C-alpha cells in the first residue's frame, strides 16, 4: 500500500512580512504622529489666545464629545460598509479640517468657535477610522498573532507620542500654524499608505441587514451578558474620566514651574518613552495571570498620580511621566486581547463601538471637569483629586470577582 500524502502545515507569515498589516501600521503611525503634534498645539494655542484653562477644556471636550455621539452608530455602520473606504474618507476629511486651522491662523482669523468645530470634526472622523481599523485587524492578521499585533499597534501609538509631543512644542515655537499644517500633511500620508491595502477587510458573508437600532441593540445585549468584558469597559470608563484631564494638568503644572513650550513638549514626549517601553513588554507580560496585570496597572496609576502631586520640579515630573506610563500599553493589550478572543467576527465593529462609547464617553466629561478644577483649585490639588478617584476605582476593581478570577487568554475560544 502506498502511504498517503504527508500533511502540509503552513506557518502564518510573520508580521514583519505581512504587507497589508505593515501598510496599515505605517499609515496610522504617520497620521498618529501628526495628531500628537496638534494635540499639544491645541492647549498651547488656546492659552496663547485666551489665557483660560476652562476654554482649553471646552476645546478638548469638543474633540471628545463625538465619542458619546458616534461610537454606537459608527460601530454598526463599520460592520456594514467598506472598512477601507471608511479609513480613506476619514483621513481625507481630517486633511481638510486641520488645513483650515493652519490657514485661519496665518490669516489672523482663528477663533475658539473655529477650533471647537474642527476638534469636533476631527474627533468624529477619528471614531470612524478607529472602529474600521479595529474591526479590520483580524482580517489582516491570523488569530494567534493578534495579541502581538495589538502590542505592535500600541508601540506605534506610543512611538507617535514619543516623537509627536516634543515635535509639537518645537513646531509651535516656530509658528502657531506650523503644527496644524504638519498634522494635515500627516493625514495625507496616512491616506496614501492605506490606499494600497489589498486584503478583504469585511466578513465573507455579511449578515442579513436589519434596522440600525436593532443591530446596535444586538451588540449591547451581547456585551451586557459578557461579565468580564462589561467590567473591563466600566474600568476603562472610570479610568478615562481621570486620565483625559491629566495632559492638561501636567501642562499647567509644568508651566507653573517655568517650563517653555518646547520643554513642555519634551515633558509630554517622556510619556511616550515609558509607553514605548511598556508596549515592548506588553506581549511577553501576557504570560502573567491577567488579574495580576489589570489590578497591578490600576494601583500603579494611583501611585503615579500621587507622585505627580508631590513632584517639586519639571525634572521629577518627567521621571514620573516615564515610569507611570509603562502600564498603559500592557493594560490595553490585555483588554483588547480579551475583546478579540470573546467577540464574534460579525459583531466586531458594533461591540467595539459600544465598548468605546462607554469607555471613551467619559473623556469629554473628564476634560471639562479637569479644566474647571484647574481654574478653581490649581494643578497640585487637581492631581490629588485624580489620585483619590483612581484609588476608588482600583479598590472596587480589586473586590470584583470577574477581575480577580479572569481566565487566561489561551483558554478562551471565540463565542458566536
Instruction: Please tell me the distance from the alpha carbon of residue 128 to that of residue 132, in angstroms, as a whole number.
Output: 6
The chain-wide mean pLDDT, for the chain, equals 85
- Judge contact between 20 and 198, C-beta under 8 A: yes
In this structure, what C-alpha cell is assigned to residue 207?
A: 449578515
All structural domains of the chain, each given as residue ranges with its CATH number in brackets, are: 17-200+211-410 (1.20.1250.20)
What would the pLDDT profile of 143-180 be if each residue is shown by its tens digit?
A: 778 878 888 887 787 778 777 777 888 898 899 999 99
* Residue 368 pLDDT: 81
Q: How far is CA 86 from CA 62, 91, 140, in A?
A: 22, 9, 16
pTM score over 0.95: no
- Judge contact between 164 and 36, C-beta under 8 A: yes
Instruction: Please tell me the distance from the alpha carbon of residue 62 to that of residue 69, in angstroms, as a whole number.
Output: 11
Which of 321, 29, 40 has the alpha carbon at shortest distance from 168? 40
* Residue 414 pLDDT: 42
In this structure, what C-alpha cell is assigned to residue 216?
A: 446596535
What would the pLDDT profile of 66-125 be if each residue is shown by its tens digit?
A: 878 888 888 888 888 888 999 999 999 999 999 999 999 999 999 999 999 999 999 899
What would the pLDDT profile of 183-215 be if each residue is shown by its tens digit?
A: 999 999 999 999 999 877 876 655 556 687 888
Mean pLDDT of 10-22: 82
Amino acid at each position: 500500500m502506498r502511504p498517503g500524502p504527508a500533511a502540509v502545515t503552513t506557518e502564518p507569515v510573520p508580521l514583519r512580512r505581512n504587507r497589508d498589516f505593515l501598510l496599515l501600521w505605517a499609515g496610522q503611525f504617520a497620521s498618529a504622529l501628526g495628531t500628537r503634534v496638534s494635540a499639544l498645539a491645541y492647549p498651547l494655542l488656546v492659552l496663547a489666545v485666551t489665557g483660560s484653562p476652562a476654554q482649553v477644556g471646552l476645546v478638548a471636550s469638543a474633540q471628545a464629545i463625538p465619542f458619546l455621539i458616534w461610537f454606537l452608530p459608527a460601530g454598526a455602520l463599520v460592520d456594514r460598509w467598506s472598512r477601507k473606504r471608511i479609513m480613506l474618507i476619514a483621513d481625507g476629511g481630517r486633511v481638510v479640517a486641520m488645513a483650515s486651522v493652519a490657514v485661519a491662523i496665518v490669516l489672523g482669523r482663528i477663533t475658539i468657535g473655529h477650533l471647537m468645530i474642527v476638534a469636533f470634526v476631527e474627533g468624529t472622523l477619528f471614531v470612524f477610522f478607529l472602529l474600521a481599523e479595529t474591526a479590520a485587524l483580524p482580517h489582516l492578521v491570523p488569530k494567534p498573532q493578534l495579541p502581538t499585533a495589538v502590542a505592535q499597534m500600541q508601540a506605534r501609538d506610543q512611538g507617535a507620542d514619543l516623537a509627536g509631543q516634543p515635535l509639537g512644542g518645537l513646531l509651535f515655537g516656530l509658528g502657531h500654524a506650523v503644527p496644524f499644517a504638519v498634522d494635515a500633511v500627516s493625514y495625507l500620508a496616512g491616506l496614501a499608505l492605506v490606499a494600497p491595502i489589498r486584503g478583504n477587510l469585511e466578513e465573507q458573508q455579511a449578515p442579513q441587514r436589519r434596522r440600525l437600532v436593532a443591530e446596535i441593540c444586538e451588540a449591547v445585549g451581547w456585551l451586557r451578558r459578557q461579565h468580564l468584558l462589561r467590567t473591563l469597559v466600566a474600568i476603562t470608563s472610570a479610568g478615562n474620566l481621570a486620565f483625559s484631564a491629566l495632559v492638561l494638568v501636567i501642562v499647567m503644572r509644568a508651566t507653573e514651574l517655568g517650563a517653555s513650550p518646547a520643554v513642555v513638549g519634551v515633558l509630554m514626549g517622556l510619556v511616550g518613552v515609558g509607553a514605548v517601553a511598556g508596549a515592548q513588554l506588553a506581549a511577553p507580560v501576557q504570560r502573567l495571570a491577567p488579574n495580576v496585570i489589570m489590578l497591578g496597572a490600576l494601583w500603579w496609576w494611583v501611585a503615579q498620580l500621587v507622585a505627580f502631586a508631590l513632584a517639586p520640579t519639571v525634572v521629577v515630573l518627567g521621571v514620573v511621566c516615564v515610569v507611570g506610563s509603562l502600564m498603559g500599553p500592557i493594560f490595553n493589550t490585555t483588554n483588547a486581547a480579551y475583546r478579540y478572543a470573546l467577540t464574534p467576527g460579525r459583531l466586531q465593529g458594533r461591540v467595539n463601538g459600544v465598548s468605546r462609547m462607554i469607555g471613551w464617553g467619559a473623556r469629554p466629561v473628564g476634560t471639562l471637569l479637569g479644566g474647571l478644577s484647574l481654574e478653581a483649585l490649581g494643578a497640585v490639588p487637581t492631581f490629588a483629586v485624580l489620585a483619590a478617584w483612581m484609588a476608588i476605582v482600583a479598590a472596587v476593581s480589586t473586590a470584583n470577582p470577574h477581575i480577580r478570577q479572569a481566565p487566561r487568554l489561551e483558554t478562551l475560544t471565540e463565542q458566536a
